[in-house]
Amino acid sequence: MPLSETALLRFLASVHPYDSLGPAPLQELAPKFRQIEAAAGAPVYALNEELQGLYLVHTGEVEVTDENGIPVSILGPRNSFGERGLTRGGRAMTSARSTAQTLLLLLPKAEFHALMASQPQAAKFFGRRRPGSRETSSLATTRVEAIMARDPVTCSGGLTCQSAAQLMRDRRISSVCVTDGDTLQGILTTRDLTARILAAGKPISTPVHSVMTPDPLTLAPSAIGSDVLHLMMEHGIGHIPVVEAGKLAGIVTQTDLTRFQAVSSGEMVSAIARAGTAEDMAKVTAEIPRLLVQLVAGGNRHEVVTRLITDIADTVTRRLLALAEETLGPPPVSYLWLACGSQGRREQTGVSDQDNCLILSDDLNPGDEAYFEQFAKIVCDGLNSCGYVYCPGGMMASNPRWRQPLHVWRSYFRGWIAKPDPEAQMLASVMFDLRPIGGEARLFADLQQETLKAAGANSIFTAHMISNSLKHTPPLGLLRGLATIRSGEHRNTLDMKHNGVVPVVDLGRVYALQGQLDGVNTRARLEAAEAAGVLSPSGARDLLDAYDLIAQTRLEHQAAQIRSGGAPDNYLAPSDLSDFERSHLRDAFVVIKTMQSAVGHGKGMLS
């Protein structure tokens, strides 16, 4: 249903930068917006299409994808899109489609440019670029260090060609780097062996140094994908060693380029949806670390990366639910599988365990429990096989406590709210992040609204939740320093999860409770809290910027670990950062500490 003039004005006044225009300019601008209703799945615009203007989401959801069909943004209410195309010749550099029933507000192109020319606030807002951000993830602009194979196979120049060929056969590779210590001397490929040994009739005992290509063309890790492509095309080669400070650091082959371009969340989701077993799915989820590296290297923002990674977990879960039903037969009563924790918030990174539960219909009969016990076991075991390891705290549907009829869940939440002891606070914090994944969503809708209303109305419970949210503190030390972990395995590092991201997650949950907001994603909660007046515009902007910096730094740290051949974790050594980066990270922690103080003193907002 179209918005009335009053409703449109009220909405625009809650969205930046329109909230800074003043009553008269806003009154003049509002009628210029066209209202467009889009059904789920309807295209908004296509790649290279001439854009009609600036789009603003009023209700619903829009997915923006790059030229390869990879999602780069999932946009909800109060998000704008299309402005980059308007400021770059009017052509769309992405595609967009609605993923739910959506109401869009379109500011035509001429009106958009007039707004940019007449209102400095709008020009500053729509013209800004966050440091390090890019519009899409592209092979051509990705650094070589994110593409190359590390620890390439090497041999000495004195090795025989037969031994070198056997080495390549055994390692299933098409080239070997010839080195003296760490110094690259040449490269030997299967093509060299064919042309210079077999075709020339030379003995297989010929030493590698007489057949190899000496002093081959190389690139540095800081080169970009287009350098690789141009070098290969110009010289007709398929292998380029990567050298840093005179030492061999890796190698890029045509296979690496193909593999890099082949990894996409869309392809992974498609493969999982067709998988016949958990083992088949595990082969796909094993590629998640490489996907994370690719997405981060492509300049994607943290909320896009974590959303795409979480979408894979959601697909795995739904496929396992279907396989469980195929194995056990139709469920005796309706059910709803929900995720909590980082999956519930759509914030999964390269390190994730599983947190889930099962709500069953109140029509459940005593004999039906055996079915759902086996059902939950199949799904939880399958998730574990796919890398989503069992929750250390047992927060899983395989635990009978978290596999109950709806009326039991209602009693759980009522009890936690009525008696907010430490365990109740912890459980309520986890369960406020619930998100339906598969089954009958209606089993949760009323429960969620009832719980938010009851929790928000109970000042004692809210006070306890606020107190609980302050237990995770930013790692701030004295004299403008950063407080690192003092002992143990992770000594002298920052815990970017529990002392970085989690404090903001906790604040977002408190704001959602205070405003009775039903979103669970942290960034969406902060934006909704601002729109609802729970959080001031200045406080929201500061906290969002701080959260973005911390979450992005955490993801980049994990991507760097994966590129180095290690397992990703959340422990960052400040010494790995520049003075500039440490200073800004500390400023972000100060913002969070300030916001925690405001909430702790009952202020809720920054002025």
Q: What is the CATH number of the domain that holds 512?
A: 1.20.120
Q: Which residues pair with 207 in a beta bridge?
A: 160
In a domain, 464, yes or no: no
Residue 314 lies in a domain: yes
pLDDT band at 535 (very low <50, low <70, confident <90, very high): very high
Segments forming the whole domain that contains residue 215: 140-253
Cis peptide before 17 (omega within 30 of 0): yes
Among 399-413, 449-463, 556-570, which is the least confidently predicted range? 449-463
Q: How far apart are CA 297 and CA 173, in angstroms?
A: 25
What pLDDT score was predicted for residue 555? 95
Say whether both 409 and 300 belong to one domain.
yes
10 Å CB burial of residue 208 (0-12, 13-18, 19+) is buried
Number of domains in the chain: 4
Last residue of a domain, one of 105, 128, 151: 128
Query: What tens digit of pLDDT does each residue of 452-488 get?
Result: 888 888 888 888 889 888 889 999 875 557 899 999 9
pLDDT tier for residue 559 given thresholds of 50, 70 and 90 = very high
The label of the residue with tokens 């980059």 reads 84
CA distance 249 to 308: 30
Do 306 and 391 lie in a common domain? yes
179 shares a domain with 223: yes
Please write the tens of the pLDDT for every residue from 351-367.
889 999 999 999 999 89
- Tell whether 279 and 211 lie within a shared domain: no
Same domain, 450 and 535: no
Looking at the domain assignment, is residue 344 inside a domain? yes
**CATH code for the domain of 61:** 2.60.120.10
C-beta of residue 433 within 8 angstroms of C-beta of residue 356: no
Residues 290 and 424 in one domain: yes
Residue 223 resides in a domain: yes
516 to 35, 173, 264, 529, 576: CA distances (angstroms): 28, 58, 36, 9, 41
Find the CATH number of the domain harbouring 248: 3.10.580.10
One domain, residues 119 and 221: no
Positive or negative, the Cα torsion across 520, 524, 526, 532?
negative
* % pLDDT > 90, the chain: 56
Q: Are residues 282 and 337 in the same domain?
A: yes
Write down which residue in 253, 284, 313 finishes a domain. Answer: 253
Token pair 């500039």 is at which residue? 580
Q: Give the Cα-Cα-Cα angle 469, 588, 17 (nearest 5 degrees).
A: 100
Rounded to whole angstroms, how far apart are CA atoms 294 and 305? 10
465 is a domain residue:
no
| Backbone phi and psi for residue 436, each to the nearest 5 degrees, phi listed first | -60, 140
What is the widest separation between alpha-carbon atoms in the chain?
Answer: 88
Average pLDDT over residues 58-87: 73
CB 174 within 8 A of CB 188: no
Q: How far is CA 298 from the centre of its chain?
A: 13
Q: Which of 23, 2, 344, 250 is nearest to 12 (CA)?
A: 23
pLDDT of residue 233: 79
**Per-residue pLDDT, 67:** 64
| Residue 524 neighbours by CB distance under 10 Å | 21
Contacts 24+ apart (CB under 8 A), 78-84: 78/14, 78/15, 78/527, 78/531, 80/54, 80/55, 80/56, 80/126, 81/54, 81/55, 81/57, 82/45, 82/51, 82/53, 82/54, 82/55, 83/54, 83/112, 83/126, 84/135
Q: Is there a contact between 547 and 511 (Cβ–Cβ < 8 Å)?
A: no
Assess if residue 50 is contained within a domain.
Answer: yes
pLDDT in tens, 104-163: 999 999 999 899 888 877 876 676 433 333 334 466 667 888 889 888 999 999 999 999
> At 226, is the pLDDT very low, low, confident or very high (cuts 50, 70, 90)?
confident
Whether 430 has a pLDDT exceeding 90, the answer reads no
Query: For strand 403-405 and strand 183-189, is the pairing parallel, antiparallel, or unpaired?
Result: unpaired
209 Cα distance to chain centroid = 47
The answer as to whether 295 is a domain residue is: yes
Residues 401 and 476 in one domain: no
**Looking at the structure, do residues 437 and 293 belong to the same domain, yes or no?**
yes
Q: Are residues 347 and 437 in the same domain?
A: yes
Mean pLDDT of 434-447: 91
Q: Within a domain: residue 594?
A: yes
Last residue of a domain, one of 98, 128, 158: 128
As a whole number of angstroms, the distance between CA 224 and CA 202 comes to 39
Strands 403-405 and 356-360: parallel
- Same domain flag for 247 and 391: no
The tokens for 390 are 């069992």
pTM of the model: 0.66
